[in-house]
Amino acid sequence: MLTWLKSHLTGGGLTAFISHSDCLQHNMGSGHPECPERLVAIKDQLMAAQLFDSLQEVEAPLVSEQQLARVHPPHYVEYIEACSPSVGTFRVDPDTAMCPGTLQAARRAAGAVVKAVDMVCNKEAPNAFCSIRPPGHHAESARSMGFCFFNNIAVGIAHALSCYKLQRIAVVDFDVHHGNGTEEIFRDDPRVMMVSIFQHPFFPYSGDQPLGANMHHVPLKAGSGSREFREAVEYLWLPQLEEFKPEMIFISAGFDAHREDDMASLALTEADYEWVTRKLLQLAATHCEGRIVSVLEGGYDLSALGRSAAAHIKVLSDG
């Protein structure tokens, strides 16, 4: 009843929380940090914080071949399909493996972002969070890597550009790893601006030399924390974004820069994710009618991931 009432009083609906049980079927093996429990941790924390009354749960559809083809050439999609094993696992690189459930999970993950774009652009939701895996921002147009197969956020951006004729889209990436795939895909597209922070030097050992004038990156040294992150946002991201005046904002929401995540060496906290989300909401309200699509990337300490994602989603749902 509370969900129905809030949706009708606000007029713009509730924040969409888009996921699918198929995303739990991708498993790269015991002990692998990119595990199904990541999505469980986020949902458990949202339930503990009683946030589901502020969300509309939506099942992710399967991405279509046409939607994938805007980002990934057919030969690459065919290669990923051919690598899909009927039993066991197939390793596409030293860090990234496929099991029988991976291809379906990857299609749901990309489809979730397309669905989010449709909902936000059609005013069925003010904004959206895609709780999906496998992640995507390391996947280049024709190369899987870093736990990623399809570049989920790029598929969503390409859908927004093609179907809604947007001319200025901003990508904000605060994952601890540089989103090399997103940069490679949009490096020559003046309609897309990317701002990011990431630990450097660190996997994938890129980003310190931007590939285009539309790429604005802030490499951070190991040990950097709230001060360095917030300065990057205040003094680089926000001025660039204000000048660009995006019509829509996409967030590569990786939470592995958290100080409790031992996969890396930055020192952010839930308060930092809450703060930057508020800043982006304010900017979106000014320039793009509040349109934000946030997409899960990294985050491997389950407790820190759950708390950080919940803090991020709460701000989106309050906005």
Q: Which residues are catalytic?
A: 138
Q: Give the list of residues 6+ apart from residue 230 with CB closer than 8 angstroms, or none.
A: 272, 275, 276
Neighbours of 256 (CB within 10 A): 24
Strand partners, 19: 59
C-alpha to C-alpha distances, 234 to 223, 227, 241, 275, nearest whole angstrom: 20, 10, 11, 11
Query: What is the DSSP annotation of 31-45?
Result: T-SS-THHHHHHHHH
CA–CA gap between residue 176 and residue 225 (Å, rounded): 11
Cβ(244)–Cβ(14) under 8 Å?
no
CA–CA gap between residue 63 and residue 110 (Å, rounded): 6
Cα 264 to chain centroid distance, Å, stands at: 18
- Residue 296, phi then psi, degrees to nearest 5: -65, 130
Structure tokens at 151: 């570049």
**Peptide linkage before 134 cis (omega within 30 of 0):** yes
Task: Encode burial over 134-165: b for 16+ CB neighbours within 10 A, e otherwise.
Answer: bbbbbbbeebbbbbbbbbbbbbbbbbbbeebe
Cβ(158)–Cβ(71) under 8 Å?
yes
Cβ(113)–Cβ(156) under 8 Å?
yes
CA–CA gap between residue 20 and residue 39 (Å, rounded): 10
